[in-house]
């Protein structure tokens, strides 16, 4: 498969100076782990210094001990930068990126629904993907989530009669 | 049978009006149902019309495994239909949730929420199989209409239950 | 005028997809749009964690019944990358042919639905009749009209023998001629010109800033296309054009999709005529080593992403799917501002929503008295009446 001009870990590291070091994870993808507290700065640099103008995805992983967020961005150069942050499981919160990357608003809302991660400064973290009767604080995509037989999750017989 | 009853039976059998309800489907069944009204399959020549409101429908066609979001709405749509009414559950999802059986946001089958008269197998069923299912439903309608219009074949919904847990 | 919120529901016969909107309208003008997309959430990502790769494929195929091959290809490509498995060239070409046939059926479907939204039912019937040619060809290749089941980890499950290739060439010639006809028709027909031009305009800057993908973005001049930007399957070998427009309105999106259909016909033709010999698949291990893969695919609606983490087992540790429709909702919300209510069905349809969205929109009075409600049918009729009155359509 062809790739565009070298999208090197060094180039990304230079732009991310002080925040993290670039690691080549695929021929066209460099991943940088940054402290959660500095994610907005990292995203702004990715947008401005690395000319990434398209937010591909905010991927979420529950590793069992932490939550990881991966912000994948790309641009006309066809290289991909993945900004990776780790959040503690007992207090998963991070600043919302919607001010820098408007599409983040919808993606963060969905992540909040499914994982319970708090995005500070988000204008509207209402339910997006789970039904309106889904109980609070039940985050189905967490690895340790199991359905509680004592709770109603919506759509059950008693609701429909 | 009296003349008026025979007229009613004839009218009901001739042009069943259907209401389509997507209970959280992937859309494969919905597209094949739509294909049934397009020229290759042309179900409208059989007098079958898709209506925009359940209040005018004879047959409710349900696609999807019934997500938790859609369950109450499905029931409401069914309740809005005048008697005699019939329900067709489409595809594997309509029967028992299909590949989505047991997933946390899915109840698993239309009969978790409404009584079902006809199940059409497939994932998705082809348009001709869908027309066949509708035709079988029309036969039910005619048979019931000849018998004073009382729906006799339905046994009631399976006791509704949580799909998981 | 006081703001009113417009409810439209529950379902409507043609656009078989549930999306829930709250439209806040100042008289006829849309001020704001709010979204609820939970109608077909099923819990697939969670389920993928408990199914081995073989069983995961039929599940993921049914994320969406229109772009099923997109999801299975994105997935198996990701697992193959994790396993460092090289798929044989014949399989890559077959994946490409099926992918472009999927784009063809999907775009024809879209054109028919968009026509239906503006009351142009003849075009709906024509496109869906022609679409049957694509369905038949997919069935000849895979055995199924929908959910073709072509992919498995390591390659493909079906071959395309010479007689099917010969039949395909005839079908493709027919489709090519029909697509050209549609291109001419939409440029001449008053209905499409009035209802699509200038509607739902998205500037190039807005398209980029809002994360728009696919034909919706390309209609605003954003030239991103995963088949060129991050080539997969056989796209590196087969020449084709990325189709763009600049006006960014619904009309431009129509032209992009018609142009893409013409390109797809060419790609299918090339991939079948140049079909390399050799095996259909390689044996892949049962287990995937620890890896993290970002698998991207240009689905009919735009960039599709499967982010995959494997962990030395026969299942994914995590599968995170971002569909193109999710990426495009932000732009719908933005591009409808200031438009008349009459344009809502068209602008929503123009992003070609495929999330099994529920068409339900809520209208409420801000002073709290009573609720007016419209079915989607009524809103569509409202649109037709509006344009009859204002444009004499």
Q: A33 - beta bridge partners?
A: A84
3-class SS string, chain A:
CCCCCCCCHHHHHHHCCCCCCEEEEECCEEEEECCHHHHHHHHHHHHHCCCCCEEEEEEEEECCCEEEEEEEEECCCCCEEEEEEEEECCCCEEECCCCCCCCHHHHHHHHHHHHCCEEECCCCCCCCCCCCCCCCCCCCCCCCCCCCCCCCCCCCHHHHC
DSSP for C45-68 reads: HHHHTTS-HHHHHHHHHTS-SSSH
User: Number of residue pairs across A and B with CB atoms under 8 Å?
Assistant: 50
Chains near B with 3+ CB pairs less than 8 A apart are: A, C
pLDDT at A146 over 70: yes
Chains in contact with C, counting 3 or more C-beta pairs less than 8 Å apart as contact: A, B
Residue at A1 is within a domain? no
Whether the pLDDT of residue A160 is over 60: the answer is: no
Nearest Cα neighbor of C49 from A42, B59, A64, A159 is A64
**Residue C8: inside a domain:** yes
One domain for residues C22 and C169: no
Residue with tokens 């099994």: C356
In a domain, A133, yes or no: yes
Is the CB of C11 less than 8 angstroms away from the CB of B27? no
**Mean pLDDT of the region A31-56:** 97
Count structural domains, chain A. Answer: 1
Is there a domain that residue B34 lies in?
Answer: yes
Please report residues of A whose CB lies closer than 8 A to that of C318. Answer: 61-62
List CB contacts (< 8 A) between A1 and chain C.
231-232, 236
Interface pTM, i.e. ipTM: 0.95
CB contact under 8 A, C294 and A56: yes
What's the rounded mean pLDDT across residues A49-61? 97
Chain C residues whose CB is inside 8 A of the B35 CB are 128, 131-132, 135
CA angle C97, C98, C104 (to 5 degrees): 95
d(CA C246, CA C259): 14
List, for residues B5-53, the tens digit of each pLDDT value. 666 666 666 678 888 899 999 999 999 998 887 767 777 776 777 777 8
Instruction: Name the residue facing A141 among C46, C208, C317 (closest C-beta).
Output: C46
Q: At C286, which helix (H) or strand (E)?
A: none
Higher pLDDT, A88 or C29: A88
Give which of B105, B114, B115 to mutate to test A binding, by max A Cβ within 10 Å.
B105
Q: Is C159 within the bounds of a domain?
A: yes
Residues of B in contact with A147 (CB under 8 A): 104, 164-165
Per-residue pLDDT of chain C (393 residues; tens, 9 = 90+): 444 444 444 433 333 344 566 777 777 888 777 777 788 899 999 999 999 999 999 999 999 889 999 999 999 999 999 999 999 999 999 999 999 999 999 999 999 988 888 888 899 889 999 999 999 999 999 999 999 999 999 999 999 999 999 999 999 999 999 999 999 999 999 988 988 998 888 999 999 999 999 999 999 999 999 999 999 999 999 999 999 999 999 999 999 999 999 999 999 999 999 999 999 999 999 999 999 999 999 999 999 999 999 999 999 999 999 999 889 988 888 888 888 888 887 877 777 765 432 344 554 444 434 345 566 666 777 778 888 888 777
Residue C160: predicted pLDDT: 97
Neighbours of C199 (CB within 10 A): 20
Query: Which pLDDT tens digit goes with each residue over B94-110?
Result: 999 999 999 999 999 99
- The boundaries of the domain holding residue B34 are 3-146
Pick from B67, B113, B159: CB nearest A160: B113
Cβ separation C208–A140 shorter than 8 A: no
Which among C267, C286, C321 is the end of a domain?
C321
Query: Which residues on chain C are in Cβ contact (under 8 Å) with A54?
Result: 208, 211, 224
> How many residues does this entry show for chain A?
161
Number of H helices, E strands in chain C: 14, 9
**A77 and C CB contact within 8 Å:** no
* C27 and C171 within one domain: no
Q: Does residue C46 lie within any of the structural domains?
A: no
Domain residues for A89? 9-160
Verify that C32 and C149 share a domain, yes or no.
Answer: no
- Contacts with A59 from chain C: Cβ below 8 Å: 294, 307, 320, 322
Q: C321, C349, C367 — which closes off a domain?
A: C321
Name the minimum distance, in Å, from the CA of B77 to any CA of chain A: 11
Q: In this structure, is residue A3 part of a structural domain? A: no
- Given a cut of 60, whether residue A151 has pLDDT beyond it is yes
Show the domain range for C32: 3-40+326-391
Peptide bond into A47 cis (omega under 30): no
State the pLDDT confidence band at B126, using cuts at 50, 70 and 90: very high
Using the Cβ of B164 and the Cβ atoms of chain A, whether some distance falls under 8 Å is answered with yes
C122 and C236 share a domain? yes
- State whether C303 and A80 contact (CB < 8 Å): no
Pick from C38, C292, C326: which is nearest to A131 by CB? C38
Specify the CATH number for the domain of residue B68: 3.40.50.12280
Closest CA of chain B from C252, distance in Å: 25
- Quote the distance between the C-alpha of residue C350 and its chain's center: 10
Using CB atoms, which residue from C16, C41, C378 is nearest to B27?
C16
Separation in Å, CA of C231 to nearest CA in chain A:
6
Residue C45 included in any domain: no
The pLDDT, as a whole number, for residue B12 is 63
Instruction: Give yes or no: residues C337 and C281 share one domain.
Output: no
Q: How far apart are the first and last CA of chain B?
A: 51
Asked if residue A116 belongs to a domain, the reply is yes
Residue A106 included in any domain: yes
**Is residue A57 in a domain?**
yes
Write down the pTM of the prediction. 0.91
CB contact under 8 A, A131 and B162: no
Residues C134 and C13 in one domain: no
Query: Which residue has tokens 């080549």?
Result: A24
For residue A64, the domain's CATH number is 3.30.460.80
The CA distance from B93 to B79, in Å, is 21
Compare CB distances from B70 to C39, C125, C147 and report the shortest one's residue: C39
Angstrom distance (rounded) from CA A112 to CA A128 = 9
pLDDT at residue B115 above 70?
Answer: yes
Same-domain pairing of C140 and C231: yes
Are A26 and C294 within 8 A, CB to CB?
Answer: yes
| Residues C29 and C89 occupy one common structural domain | no
Q: State whether C139 and C255 are in the same domain.
A: yes
The secondary structure element, H or E, covering residue C223 is none
Tokens of C44: 């697939």
- Cβ-defined contacts of A139-146 (< 8 Å, 24+): A139/A113, A139/A114, A139/A115, A140/A114, A140/B104, A140/B105, A140/C43, A140/C46, A141/A60, A141/A62, A141/A114, A141/A115, A141/C45, A141/C46, A142/A62, A142/A115, A142/A116, A143/A62, A143/A64, A144/A64, A146/B165
How far is it, in rounded angstroms, from Cα C182 to Cα C172? Answer: 15
Does residue C166 share a domain with residue C19? no
pLDDT > 90: what percent of chain A?
A: 83
Nearest to A159 among B71, B105, B159 (CB): B71
Q: Do B72 and A159 touch (CB under 8 A)?
A: yes
- What is residue C265's predicted lDDT score, i.e. its pLDDT? 98
Minimal Cβ distance to B160: which of A131, A148, A160: A160
The answer to whether residue A79 sits within a structural domain is yes
Q: Comparing C-alpha atoms, which of A144, A31, A132, A127 is closest to residue A82?
A: A31
Residue A46 lies inside a defined structural domain of this protein:
yes
Between C386 and A34, the higher pLDDT residue: A34
- Best to test chain A binding among C218, C320, C358, C362 (most A CBs inside 10 Å): C320
Round to whole Å and give the CA distance between C182 and C189: 10
How many domains in chain C?
Answer: 2
Q: Tell me, yes or no, whether C143 and C223 share the same domain.
A: yes
**Of the residues C275, C302, C321, the one at which a domain ends:** C321
B153: in domain? no
User: Does a structural domain hold residue B79?
Assistant: yes
Q: Which residue in B21, B26, B38 is closest to C11 by CB distance?
A: B21
Closest C-alpha among C60, C86, C82 to residue C73: C60
Please indicate whether residue C392 or residue B72 has the higher confidence score (pLDDT): B72
């Amino acid at each position: 498969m062809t790739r565009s001009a070298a999208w090197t870990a060094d180039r990304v590291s230079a732009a991310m100076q002080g925040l993290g070091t670039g690691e080549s994870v695929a021929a066209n993808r460099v991943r940088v782990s940054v402290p959660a507290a500095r994610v907005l700065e990292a995203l702004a640099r990715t947008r401005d210094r690395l000319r990434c103008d398209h937010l591909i995805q905010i991927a979420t992983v529950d590793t069992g001990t932490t939550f990881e967020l991966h912000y994948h961005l790309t641009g006309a150069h066809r290289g991909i930068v993945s900004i990776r942050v780790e959040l503690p499981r007992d207090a998963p919160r991070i600043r919302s990126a919607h001010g820098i990357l408007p599409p983040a608003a919808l993606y963060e809302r969905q992540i909040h629904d499914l994982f319970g991660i708090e995005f500070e400064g988000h204008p509207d973290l209402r339910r997006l993907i789970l039904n309106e009767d889904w109980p609070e604080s039940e985050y189905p995509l967490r690895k340790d989530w199991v359905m509680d037989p004592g709770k109603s999750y919506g759509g059950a017989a008693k609701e429909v009669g | 049978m009296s003349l008026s009853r025979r007229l009613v039976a004839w009218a009901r059998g001739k042009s069943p009006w259907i209401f389509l309800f997507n209970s959280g489907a992937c859309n494969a069944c919905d597209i094949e149902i739509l294909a049934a009204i397009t020229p290759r399959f042309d179900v409208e020549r059989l007098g079958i019309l898709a209506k925009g409101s359940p209040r005018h429908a004879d047959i409710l066609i349900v696609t999807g495994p019934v997500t938790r979001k859609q369950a109450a709405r499905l029931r409401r749509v069914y309740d809005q239909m005048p008697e005699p009414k019939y329900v067709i559950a489409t595809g594997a999802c309509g029967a028992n949730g299909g590949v989505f059986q047991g997933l946390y946001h899915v109840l698993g089958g239309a009969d978790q929420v409404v009584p079902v008269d006809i199940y059409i197998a497939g994932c998705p069923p082809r348009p001709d199989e869908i027309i066949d299912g509708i035709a079988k439903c029309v036969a039910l309608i005619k048979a019931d209409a000849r018998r004073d219009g009382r729906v006799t074949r339905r046994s009631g919904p399976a006791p509704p239950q949580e799909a998981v847990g | 005028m006081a703001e009113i919120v417009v409810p439209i529901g529950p379902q409507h016969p043609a656009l078989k997809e549930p999306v829930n909107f709250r439209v806040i309208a100042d008289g006829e003008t849309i001020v704001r749009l709010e979204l609820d997309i939970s109608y077909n959430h099923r819990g697939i990502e969670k389920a993928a964690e408990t199914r081995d790769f073989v069983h995961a494929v039929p599940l993921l195929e049914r994320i969406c019944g229109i772009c099923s091959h997109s999801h299975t290809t994105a997935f198996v490509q990701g697992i193959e990358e994790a396993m460092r498995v090289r798929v044989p060239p014949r399989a890559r070409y077959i994946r490409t042919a099926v992918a472009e046939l999927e784009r063809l059926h999907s775009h024809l479907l879209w054109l028919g639905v968009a026509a239906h939204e503006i009351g142009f039912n003849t075009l709906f019937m024509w496109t869906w009749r022609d679409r049957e040619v694509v369905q038949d060809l997919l069935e000849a290749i895979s055995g199924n009209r929908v959910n073709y089941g072509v992919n498995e980890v390591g390659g493909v499950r079906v071959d395309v023998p010479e007689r099917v290739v010969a039949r395909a060439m005839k079908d493709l010639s027919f489709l090519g001629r029909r697509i050209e006809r549609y291109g001419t028709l939409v440029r001449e027909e008053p209905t499409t010109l009035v209802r699509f031009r200038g509607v739902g305009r998205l500037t190039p800057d807005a398209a980029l800033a809002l994360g728009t993908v696919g034909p919706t973005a390309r209609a605003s001049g954003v030239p991103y296309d995963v088949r060129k930007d991050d080539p997969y399957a056989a796209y590196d070998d087969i020449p084709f054009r990325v189709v763009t427009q600049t006006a960014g309105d619904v009309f431009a999106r129509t032209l992009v999709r018609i142009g893409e259909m013409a390109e797809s016909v060419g790609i299918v033709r090339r991939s079948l005529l140049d079909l390399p010999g050799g095996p259909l698949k390689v044996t892949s291990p049962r287990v995937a080593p620890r890896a993290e893969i970002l698998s991207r695919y240009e689905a009919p609606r735009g960039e599709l992403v499967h982010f995959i983490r494997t962990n030395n087992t026969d299942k994914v540790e995590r599968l995170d799917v971002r569909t193109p429709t999710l990426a495009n909702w932000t732009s719908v919300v933005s591009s409808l501002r200031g438009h008349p209510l009459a344009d809502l069905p068209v602008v929503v349809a123009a992003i070609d929503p495929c999330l099994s969205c529920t068409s339900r929109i809520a209208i409420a009075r801000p002073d709290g008295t009573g609720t007016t409600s419209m079915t989607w049918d009524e809103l569509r009729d409202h649109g037709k009446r509006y344009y009859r009155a204002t444009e004499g359509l």
